Amino acid sequence: MATPQPLPAGDAVIEVRDLNTRFGTAVVHENVSLSVRPGEIFALVGGSGTGKSTLLREVILLQPPVSGSIRVFGQEVIGLSDDEALPLRRRWGVMFERGALFSSLTVAENVGMVLQEHTELGEGLIRELAAVKIALTGLPADAGAKYPSELSGGMRKRASLARALALDPELLFLDEPTAGLDPLSATGIDELVRSLRDGLGLTIMMVTHDLDLLWRAADRVAVLGRNRIVGVGTMNELSQADDPLVRQYFYGPRGRAAREQAWKPK
C-alpha cells in the first residue's frame, strides 16, 4: 500500500461539490457543496428529514448519490469499488447512531476485530490496544469484557467510538453522538470530542441535533434545509444569519438556552 500523501496545508479533507440525491421522486439534496478542513470539528445540522445522515452515508460510501462529486483526502469516492475504497476506509472511523456494535462479540472483541482484520499485530498487543481505545473513550476498564446488550445507551456509544478509533483514523464520522443520552453523558461526549481532536489531531465530521454540543465543540456548522445548505460558519456567525430557517433553528427556545449556557462566564 502506498503511503498516504500528507495533505498540503489548507486543503480540504472532505470536499463535496454539487451533490444531488433523490429517493424516487423525493429530492433530498440539490447542488449541495461543502468542505471540511483538516483538524476541524465540522457539524451538519438541520431538521428531521433534511438529509443529514444521508449526506454522511454518501461520504462514507454507504450510499451512492445521483450526481455530484465527493472527494475525501483528495480522492474522488463516488464509483469506487470496494477494493479501491479499502485504503480510504482504513483512514476513517465511523460511530453509528445506535452503536452498531457486533452483538455476538464483547466490546474488547469488537475493537480488537478491526485490528485483527487490518494489521499484523500479535494477540497480546491487540488486547492491550483494544483496552487503550476503550479507556480513551472514558469507559470503565471492566466494560471491555461485556457484551453490547449488557451496556447502557451511553456506554454503547462510547464503545462504538472505541471501535471507530481502533485503527487510529485521521478522520472520524459521528452520527448523532449525543442522541438519547442523559445530559451528564452528553456533556462527557462534548469533552471527549474536543479532547480527541486536540489530543489525536483528528478531523471530525458529525451529524447532530444537540445545540449544546454545537456550541461547545463544533468549529464550523453547516445547516441543511430546503434540500440545500442554507448556512455555513461558526456558531457565532450562524447565530447572526438572516436566513429564516437558520434563525428558526438557533432561536427556538432551546437554541436560546443553549446559547446562553455557552456564553456564561466560566
Partner 1 sequence: MIPANAAQLILGEASGEGGGPCTARCSGAWTVRGIADLDRHLATLAWPPQGEVVIDGAALAALDTSGAWLLHRVVRDLQRVGRAVRLTGLRPEFESLLQLVASRGIVAQEPAAAPPGWLARLGRRAWMLGVGTLGYLAFVGEASIVLLRSLRQPHRLRWRVILHNMQIAGIDALPITGFLSFLMGIVIAYQGADQLQRFGANIFVVDLVALAMLRELSPLLTAIIVAGRSGSAYTAQIGTMKVTEEIDALRTIGVTPQEQLVLPKIVALVIALPLLTVYTDITGVLGGMVMARTKLDISFDMFLDRLGEAISLSSYWTGISKAPVFAMIIALVGCYRGFHVTGSAESVGEQTTMSVVQSIFLVIATDAIFSIVFLWLDL
Residue span binding partner 1 (CB under 8 A) among the ranges 13-21, 185-193, 199-207, 256-264 = 199-207
Q: What is the 3-state secondary structure (H, E, C) of the chain?
A: CCCCCCCCCCCCCEEEEEEEEEECCEEEEEEEEEEECCCCEEEEEECCCCCHHHHHHHHCCCCCCCEEEEEECCEECCCCCHHHHHHHHCCEEEECCCCCCCCCCCHHHHHHHHHHHHCCCCHHHHHHHHHHHHHHCCCCHHHHHCCHHHCCHHHHHHHHHHHHCCCCCCEEEEECCCCCCCHHHHHHHHHHHHHHHHHHCCEEEEECCCHHHHHHHCCEEEEEECCEEEEEECHHHHHCCCCHHHHHHHHCHHHHHHHHHHHCCC
CB 8 to partner 1: min, Å = 18
Q: Applying CB under 8 A, which of residues 129, 172, 205, 221 lies at the interface with partner 1? A: 129
The site that binds partner 1 (CB under 8 A) totals a number of residues, namely 37
CB 249 to partner 1: min, Å = 31
Closest residue by Cα to residue 44 from 228, 202, 257, 197: 228
CB 114 to partner 1: min, Å = 10
User: Would you say 136 or 179 has its CB closer to partner 1?
Assistant: 136
Q: Applying CB under 8 A, which of residues 18, 168, 182, 260 lies at the interface with partner 1? A: 168
Residue span binding partner 1 (CB under 8 A) among the ranges 55-63, 185-193, 198-206, 211-219 = 198-206
d(CA 206, CA 175): 6
45 neighbors 214 (Cβ within 8 angstroms): yes
Q: Applying CB under 8 A, which of residues 31, 63, 103, 248 lies at the interface with partner 1? A: 103
Residues of this chain, 143-162, that bind partner 1 according to CB under 8 A: 144-145, 147-149
CB 254 to partner 1: min, Å = 27
Residues of this chain, 42-101, that bind partner 1 according to CB under 8 A: none
Residue span binding partner 1 (CB under 8 A) among the ranges 66-74, 130-138, 207-215, 242-250 = 130-138
Q: Applying CB under 8 A, which of residues 200, 241, 245, 262 lies at the interface with partner 1? A: 200
Residue span binding partner 1 (CB under 8 A) among the ranges 13-21, 41-49, 142-150, 186-194 = 142-150
Q: Applying CB under 8 A, which of residues 20, 69, 75, 119 lies at the interface with partner 1? A: 119
116 binds partner 1 (CB under 8 A): no
Pairing of strands 41-46, 220-225: parallel
- Compute φ and ψ for 197, nearest 5 degrees: -65, -45
Q: Applying CB under 8 A, which of residues 36, 56, 72, 130 lies at the interface with partner 1? A: 130
Q: Which residues bind partner 1 (CB under 8 A)?
A: 3, 103-104, 106, 108, 115, 118-125, 127-133, 135-136, 141-142, 144-145, 147-149, 165, 167-168, 195, 199-201
